[in-house]
């Protein structure tokens, strides 16, 4: 008699996986969560009376080829943080509070140990963001993925009061761009980074370089910074006109996404420190500077656009929240885009 397990899908392993991750999932629950793990759908009661005009904001993303570093390192407890970060940072730029999160974990053969580590990281990311992990999907698909590998996708939902939405509409020349420091590459540009460092440079995850404070693999696997709570705190105290999450496309491509039609950014090179991993990639790969700025975050994970009079106070407040902020440029008249000076 042929069984599902003989076909490559182990139901018992799936059940054990669910049993192991339940404590992590429950540790993220908020009072609005109405279901436990294992139901067909996650239920979340929106406290609509807290808002004049509640607007739901959603975002979905993955971790990309950064997962290849996790496979090489056999370290799986941080990519879940990346997954949450990529989704909640996207919705936070609208001024939204992340409410709940769903994940999709797909693999050829389920490793309960690896899967548990991944979800432990997702739960940690949710706690950092203040949102609840209310469900997900674990897909075991024999022969679909290489042995030992998996893919991740996430989905976040948040809420913002419509009068408090941050949409960039009031940005004008003279406003200042405040960059909040990234932790490194975050979760973008890894295809180029891996090509340059491993193929062109002949390095590997164990390589120790003078410019880096840890082995290369550890530097590359540094989790993405989650800015959600900090954005809420800053927006509650200051007039934040626009926010850009610096992901794939770097500063060059992401900043204009929040500009009105008659404004562009003028960024001052050297006005913020970039982690050494960026100069290493540029040097080894002979990567053009323009390409660096349109692929990587270059040390800036999130940009806030504020009135000039508030810039110093915003930076000081960000420091109390654990983030280093820098005045990286100003808004000027022109077609939406980014001009680098200095």
Q: What is the 3-state secondary structure (H, E, C) of 244-268?
A: EECCCCHHHHHHHHHCCCCEEEEEE
Residue 194 is predicted with a pLDDT of 98
Q: How far apart are CA 156 and CA 43, in angstroms?
A: 14
* CA–CA distance, 149 with 65 (Å, rounded to integer): 11
Q: Which residues of the chain have pLDDT under 70?
A: none
pLDDT of residue 80: 98
Q: Domains plus CATH for the chain?
A: 11-164 (3.30.1330.10), 176-341 (3.90.650.10)
pLDDT digits (tens, 9 = 90+) for 59-94: 999 999 999 999 999 999 999 999 999 999 999 999
Measured between alpha carbons, how far is 217 from 37 in angstroms, rounded to an integer?
A: 34
Give me the pLDDT at residue 235, please: 98
pLDDT of residue 133: 98
Give the sign of the dihedral formed by CA 286, CA 193, CA 247, CA 308: negative
Q: What is the Cα–Cα distance from 165 to 240, expressed in whole angstroms?
A: 10
Quickly count: other Cβ atoms within 10 Å of residue 184's Cβ: 22
Structure tokens at 299: 């040390």
Burial label for 103, CB within 10 Å (0-12, 13-18, 19+), is buried
**Among 160, 180, 171, 330, which residue's Cα sits nearest to residue 257?**
171
- Residue whose C-alpha is closest to residue 102's, from 132, 130, 78: 132
**242-245, strands of its sheet edge to edge:** 242-245, 300-306, 176-181, 325-333, 263-268, 338-341
How many Cβ atoms are within 10 Å of 322's Cβ, its own excluded? 10
Residue 1, pLDDT score: 83
Query: What pLDDT is attached to residue 67?
Result: 98
pLDDT at position 114:
98
> Quick count: other Cβ atoms within 10 Å of Cβ 295?
22
For the entire predicted model, the pTM comes to 0.97
């Amino acid at each position: 008699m042929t069984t599902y397990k003989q076909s490559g899908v182990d139901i018992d392993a799936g059940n054990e996986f669910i049993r192991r991750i339940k404590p992590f999932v429950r540790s993220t629950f908020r009072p609005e969560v109405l279901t436990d793990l294992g139901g067909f759908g996650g239920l979340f009661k929106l406290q609509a009376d807290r808002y004049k005009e509640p607007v739901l904001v959603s975002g979905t993303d993955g971790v990309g080829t950064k997962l290849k570093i996790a496979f090489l390192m056999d370290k799986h407890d941080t990519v879940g943080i990346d997954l949450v970060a990529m989704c909640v940072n996207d919705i936070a730029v609208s001024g939204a509070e992340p409410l709940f999160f769903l994940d999709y974990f797909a693999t050829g053969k389920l490793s309960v140990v690896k899967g548990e580590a991944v979800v432990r990281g997702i739960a940690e990311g949710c706690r950092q963001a203040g949102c609840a992990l209310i469900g997900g999907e674990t897909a075991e698909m024999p022969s679909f993925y290489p042995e030992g590998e998996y893919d991740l996708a996430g989905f976040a939902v948040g809420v913002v009061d419509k009068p408090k939405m941050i949409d960039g509409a009031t940005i004008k020349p003279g406003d200042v761009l405040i960059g909040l420091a990234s932790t490194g590459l975050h979760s973008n540009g890894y295809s180029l980074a891996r090509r340059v460092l491993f193929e062109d440079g002949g390095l590997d995850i164990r390589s120790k370089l003078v410019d880096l404070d840890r082995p290369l693999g550890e530097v590359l696997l540094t989790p993405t910074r989650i800015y959600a709570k900090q954005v809420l705190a800053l927006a509650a105290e200051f007039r934040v006109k626009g926010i850009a999450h610096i992901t794939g496309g770097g500063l060059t491509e992401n900043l204009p996404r929040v500009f009105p039609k008659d404004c562009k950014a003028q960024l001052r090179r050297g006005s913020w420190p970039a982690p050494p991993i960026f100069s290493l990639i540029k040097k080894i790969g002979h990567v053009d500077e323009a390409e660096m700025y349109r692929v990587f975050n270059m040390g800036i994970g999130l940009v806030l656009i504020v009135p000039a009079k508030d810039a110093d106070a915003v930076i000081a407040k960000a420091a109390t929240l654990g983030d280093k902020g820098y005045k990286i440029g100003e808004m000027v008249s022109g077609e939406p885009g980014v001009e680098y000076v200095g």
